[in-house]
Structure formats: structure tokens, C-alpha cells
Chains A and B, each alone.
Chain A
């Protein structure tokens, strides 16, 4: 159980304080989605570590990099990357939506701000694709 909230005022005595169960977030769809978003941060961090590992292998030379690449093609690794990719995508989509809520006001609607995020993401992805290939 979590710590109960707020102390009663001095004028009010014998108030009743409800305890919040650790499963509080399971009660509503919005909080379940929120918790998934929070947990998806772990996969974002894992993804970043994988990328850093690849960069490190690249700096060590083609042999080390090719060895890592070969390991990455194993079934377990592919599954891990699929799961990480799904969570990273979910994380990204939710934050694109939230950025619309934060910055969307006046002439720039929340939808337009979110759309700009997607456009920049797609443009950057195409740029990286052409840069590599």
C-alpha cells in the first residue's frame, strides 16, 4: 500500500483516509496506457544501449562489428528487437500526441503540432536511410 494522502486540517478531526492500493493503475484505461508508456521507457533505454553497443563495435573495426551483427540475427535477438521496436514506437506516438497538447495553441492546433512531429520523423528517417544506403 502507498502512503495515504494529505493531513487533515487542524479544525477537522477524525477524518477518514483511503489507502491507495498498488494496483490503482489497473482501474482505468487511461492509467493502464500511462503505465505502459512509463514502462516503455525501459525499452527505449535498452534500444539506446544496443545502438551504443553497435557504435562501439563499429569503432573497434569491421570484424567486431560483423560478429555483433551475426549475433543480432539470432532468433532471440530478433524477438528482443521486435519487442523493443514496438515499445519505442508506442513511446514515440504517445509523446508526439502529448507535444501537440503542450505546444498546440492559437493558430497552431494540437493536431498540426503532432503532424509536424511525424513529418520531421519521416524526413529524418528517409535522410538516414539515404545516408546509409
Chain B
């Protein structure tokens, strides 16, 4: 008999009531299959109603994040052989509302991402439209934000973050990491705009420094460090603003 592996998938169907329950699938074990391959097998051969997101299959698009045995992982880069012969339990990403099965509603994240203006801002708006200008950077200037620019918005960090789980108004790890990325870009002049969001009550100060966001990041962005550095930058900005006679912003 061919080797088999057991997958328990937590499912929710909005059309059949508010039940959120596990369903077990026993499928053939292929040592070179990712969990996403296994889900595609279930969808194609066992149960076509299973819903989940995926696209690139190479840890670039960030669509296929799920809780794998309780840890947020990209299922395209997580392989069955890591767990075999043990069972694998799949749940939708934690801390987000579930739309159906393994698909979660990311609207809250998208709103937060938009609020930090994750694009290059120029004081002179004509600069943004003028494509003839070059804004040169030294390798050192690029290095200062490169790590955070690797974020693929997979939201694994939000699923790992207890602060976001308990306080959904918290801006969250990826949005702050991207704030850090643009604030440290020598071409950007939008730090003041973003400070109003990240230094606010629901910004960086809601982070209690658990560090799990960094542990689960598939791109090694280190959101935790970005958040703590943003705290330091915000405190320094506030201090100098206070010294200048302002209220401190």
C-alpha cells in the first residue's frame, strides 16, 4: 500500500451556518509535495468545494499563508516531508475573520497598509509625476531599507502577533515594517505624513515586543526590529519637537 498522510483542515462554510469544524483527509504521501500541492490534490481529486488562496507557488506572492500545526507558514514552501508520518493540521491564518475554509478577510490589513502610504512621497508633487529626474542612491543608502523592502504582504506576521489578535486596532508588523522601509529611503520625503499614523496610540507603541512576527517571516524582513527602531525614532522626534517648544508630535 502506498504511503499516506493525514491532513486535518478546519473548515467554515458561510452558506451552511456558523459551523467551524475540522475535516480529515487521508491522501497519498509524496515526499516532494508541498502542503499546497496536497491541497491542490484534495481540491482536484477529493473535495472540489475546499477553498484556499494560492498563486505563484514560489513564496513570492504571499497568497497561500495558513496556520500549519499552529504556526503561520506559506504552504507553497512548507513540505509534507517535514511532518511525515505525523498528521498536519491546517487552519486559516489566525487573527483574521474567515470568509470560507482557509480564506480570510484581509480588508483590515489592506486599510492599514494604505494608511501608512507605502510609496515614495515627495514634498514637491511634481517630482512624483516627472519621470525624467533620476534619484541616485549609494549602496549604503539602499542597504538601510533593503531588508524591509522584501516584504510580500503575506500577513503571516499578523497571524503570529498576539497584540494584533487582542487589539485589532493595532497597525501591525508589516505596515510598520513598510513604514520603516519608506522612511529610510533617501528618495522619500514622507516621514512626517507617516509619523502621524505610526507614532499614534495604535501605532508602534501597541507592540509589546514578542518577536514572533520576525520568527515567522518567510522573507526575513524582521518587522520586530523595524517596529522597535521606529519607536526610538518617534521618541527622538517627539523629544526634539518638545525642546523646540512644540507639544511634541
B93 to chain A, nearest CB (A): 10
Interface residues, chain B, CB within 8 Å of chain A? 12, 14, 18, 20, 70, 94-99, 105, 107-108, 143, 162, 164-166, 168, 208-212, 214-215, 222, 224-225, 228-229, 232
A93 to chain B, nearest CB (A): 14
Q: For the complex, count residues of A whose C-beta is within 8 A of B.
A: 30
B228 contacts which of A6, A14, A101 (Cβ < 8 Å)?
Answer: A101
- Cβ B225 vs Cβ A101 within 8 A: yes
B179 to chain A, nearest CB (A): 16
Q: Which 5 A-B pairs have the closest CB atoms?
A: A9-B107, A15-B97, A14-B14, A5-B168, A102-B228
Return the chain B residue nearest A95 by Cβ.
Answer: B209
| Secondary structure of the A contact surface, majority rule | loop
CB contacts under 8 Å to B, within A1-40, are 2-3, 5-9, 11-18, 20, 24-25, 27-28, 30-31, 34, 38
Return the chain A residue nearest B230 by Cβ.
Answer: A102
How many A-B residue contacts, CB cutoff 8 Å? Answer: 88
Return the chain A residue nearest B94 by Cβ.
Answer: A18
Residues of B within 8 A of A16 (CB): 12, 14, 18, 20, 97-98
A52 to chain B, nearest CB (A): 26
Contacts known (A17-B97, A30-B212); A8 close to B164, Cβ less than 8 A? no
- Cβ A30 vs Cβ B228 within 8 A: no
Cβ of A98 under 8 Å from chain B: yes
